[in-house]
Copies of this chain bind each other. A is one copy, B any other.
Amino acid sequence: MTTPAQGLHSHVLATLGLAITAGEYPPGTVLRTDELAQRFDVSRTVVREVVRVLESMHLVESRRRVGVTVLPTASWNVYDPQVIRWRLAGADRPRQLRSLTVLRSAVEPVAAGLAALHATPEQCRELTEQALGMVATSRGRRLEEYLVHDIAFHRVVLNASGNEMFARLGDVVAEVLTGRTHHHVMFEDPDPAAVTLHVQVAEAVRERNAARAEELTRQIAVGALQELDVLAP
């Protein structure tokens, strides 16, 4: 039904997590562990372990004599990559993509500025390579190939920033870019202006020009935000 899953735990976790983040159980809904055990045809042990994980994500709260209560969205660990993936797979995907894109627009310019200061020669090389890859695949409906380079590019920038918190947003950016590409009409090639900006960012980083790297990345971010507005006003 959902994911094949290797291991009962993963299967139950994926199913329940997806259902909760999709809003199938409104906040306040109470589930009982042995009811769940029966429903998924697994032992209470497995269910308990799943509940503990969901509890650590603040999706649910388990209380004695009451049961497992679904918590309101406001308390969810929305930075948990697993939660992000579930939500992107669910109904409020557009809302989620918007939130994440705004986050990107705040973080990536600063990260690029830091990258210009801290990037190793190897990272500079990698950055240029990915930018050129984007140029090469920017025409002729090669969106999938373009996406790979785009993700790699942003990942390198975030890693090169030298900030751990930024680096860990690589997966989030990957999800957003993937979602964007696959949600798009997929007919048109990427905006040539954006492609050029990426090449220029690589240049700026190579030249250790932090202010320019930051400003150029800010322009990329503005483009991404405008794109969202065009799609969902």
* Chain A interfacial positions (CB closer than 8 Å to B): 9, 45, 48-49, 52-53, 55-57, 73-74, 77-82, 99-100, 102-103, 105-107, 109-111, 114, 163-168
Contact = CB atoms under 8 A, between A and B. Distances in A.
A226 to B, nearest CB: 16
As for how many copies of this chain the complex holds, the number is 2
Interface of A is mostly: helix
Contacts of A73: 164
A74 B163 CA distance: 11
Nearest to A73: B164
A169 to B, nearest CB: 9
6 contacts: A56-B82, A102-B110, A103-B107, A103-B163, A103-B165, A106-B111
Contacts of A114: 102
A63 to B, nearest CB: 11
